[in-house]
Structure 1
Amino acid sequence: AQQVFGLIGEAVEQIGTRRETLQLKASTCVMRWLLPRLMQWQQERPDVPVELTTTVAYTVDFRREQFDAAVIYAPIAEQSAQARHLFDERLTPVCAPALLGGLHTPADLQQQVLLHPTRDERDWALWLKAANTRLSNLAQGHHFETLDLAMTVASQGSGVAIGDSALIGEDLKAGRLATPFELRVPTGMGYYLVYPPGTEPSAGLEQLMDWLVSQAQSPSQ
């Protein structure tokens, strides 16, 4: 009987200390920033495991989707109390380091293949307007479904992409990508960590969110 009660006690203790995996959703466009940090988090905090689901969608519907939190891309001025600000989107041209020698002014982009992270040219048009530059090759480049695809092609030296400077820090450090111009143009959009309204985040989720926010605010991010 003593052995039976001892086994029951051990089982109850194991259940009480079992770690629940946090379910996190994020758009593919933020993967270049988020994934290295989640890998670092798992090394430092194996007691708070995270399972990541990626999607091409920019938002989350917690009424239909069973996630503990999500990283969304949304207008800066429209966020609820459940949102934790990561960073604002600021666009700048991005290319392989090998192309830097031919990019001294924005007008030099006329000689390059422009890579668009969406099916339209709005990102490039916004940046070129801020740079007071007109190009005749704006609509002649390649269009991609996601920012990640455009950045991957840019890193191969096949053209110059336009993207959020905050998302490519790891690529810049590794020398895969470079930014030929200093101009960063805000779009009015940003990235946020959100959790279901009307709920209180668990201790593990609260710690993960605080850590990701601190990573986003770090000068080296």
Structure 2
Amino acid sequence: MPVSPPPLKGLPLNALRAFEAAARLGGFAAAATELGVTAGAITAHVKTLEEALGAPLFERHARGVRLTALGQRVLPDFVEAFDRLGLAVQTLRAEAAPRQVHIATLPAIAQLWLSPRLPAIRAAAPEIAVSITAMEAPPDLKRAPFDLNLFFREDNLGRLVSADEIFPVCAPQLAADLVHPRDLAQVPCLSDAVWADDWQLWAEVAAPGWSFAPRGPVFSLYALAVEETVNGAGVLVGHEPLVAQQLATGALVAPFGARRRLRRTLRLWSARPLRPGSAAARVADWLSA
């Protein structure tokens, strides 16, 4: 009589994913943010996995968690496995929807640099649908479902799209009273919460030795700060790629000649090679031209 033993029960994929994310990112809260679940869900998944294995993967402490020796040994294999899975999923998405392109970028880049270029892309290739997701930091493209990444970077990853030079900009009606950088002390100076050191970086080249402390509103959205500058609310440090359109139309002017080129540049990249002639490759060519 043939023997049919019950199949060996596998480990739950969601639990393995929770372990890998928590181990790679160094905590349950960070893993929850990446996976879009609660920290309690990560805790439950990891506990289920540890119970199934009969061995702990993390040491719990008052300040967080730390991998056990077992967890440290197996983590590299799981990182590689989920990286490969993520890339395979991206390939599947691209093959299933070859005319859709998903771009991840900063909110300011999305609104001020990318959005004005979309009509030309639609006119040149109406069959391509471009989706944009604005986020404050680049995603892990090996895991996230994006075809292209467009962010400021200080390395040479991907394609150079534009240099980043900074200099004060304002509405034309304010420029007449701005002759010397020290005249900025008499007008509101708008700031961006993320690029909080812009004014000091520019002042170092415009007036060396001048300790300038801007007085004026602070915005968490750079695009909103640009809009308020156009409205005459004050002077803002402009990032050349992001204010080029307003300068071209005359909505903004640069009252001073001094500029500072930053180390970072606007760069476009993908986690996997773009197939020549594909929708993503065509969009990348347009954006980096």
TM-score in terms of structure 2 length: 0.61
Structure 2 unaligned residues grouped into runs of 5+: 1-94
Match of 1:38 in 2: 118
Contact 1:91 1:185 in 2 (8 A): yes
- 185, 200, 208: which one aligns with 2:274: 200
Instruction: Write the deviation string for residues 136-159 of structure 1: whole angstroms up to 9, x where unpaired.
Output: 5x2432211122121111111111
RMSD over aligned CA atoms reads 2.1
Q: Using CA pairs under 8 Å that are at least 6 residues apart, name the structure with larger relative contact order, 1 or 2.
A: 1
How far residue 119 of structure 1 moved from its aligned partner, in angstroms, is 5.5
Equivalent position SS for 1:32: helix
Larger C-alpha radius of gyration, 1 or 2?
2
Instruction: Write the deviation string for residues 42-94 of structure 1: whole angstroms up to 9, x where unpaired.
Output: 12211222111122x1322113310111101111xx233xx111112110001
**Separation in 1, partners of 2:119, 2:132:** 11
Identical-residue share of aligned pairs (%): 26
**Separation in 1, partners of 2:288, 2:263:** 19
Contact 1:147 1:163 in 2 (8 A): no
Of the structure 1 ranges 99-108 and 199-208, higher mean CA displacement relative to structure 2 is found in 199-208
Match of 1:53 in 2: 133
**Separation in 2, partners of 1:174, 1:93:** 17
Contact 2:98 2:279 in 1 (8 A): no
Match for 2:268: what amino acid? Answer: L
Contact 2:190 2:214 in 1 (8 A): no
More helix by proportion, 1 or 2? 2
Match of 2:148 in 1: 69
Contact 1:22 1:51 in 2 (8 A): yes
**Separation in 1, partners of 2:269, 2:139:** 9
Contact 1:89 1:187 in 2 (8 A): yes
**Separation in 1, partners of 2:100, 2:231:** 36
Match of 2:165 in 1: 90
**Separation in 2, partners of 1:119, 1:23:** 25
Instruction: Write the deviation string for residues 100-132 of structure 1: whole angstroms up to 9, x where unpaired.
Output: 111112111111111111267411001011011
**Separation in 1, partners of 2:279, 2:105:** 18
TM-score in terms of structure 1 length: 0.79
- Say if 1:121 and 1:26 are closer, same or farther in 2 by CA, change over 3 A: closer
Match of 1:219 in 2: none
Match for 2:134: what amino acid? Answer: T
Match for 1:107: what amino acid? Answer: R
Equivalent position SS for 1:92: strand
Of the structure 1 ranges 155-164 and 119-128, higher mean CA displacement relative to structure 2 is found in 119-128
Match of 1:104 in 2: 179
Contact 2:188 2:214 in 1 (8 A): no
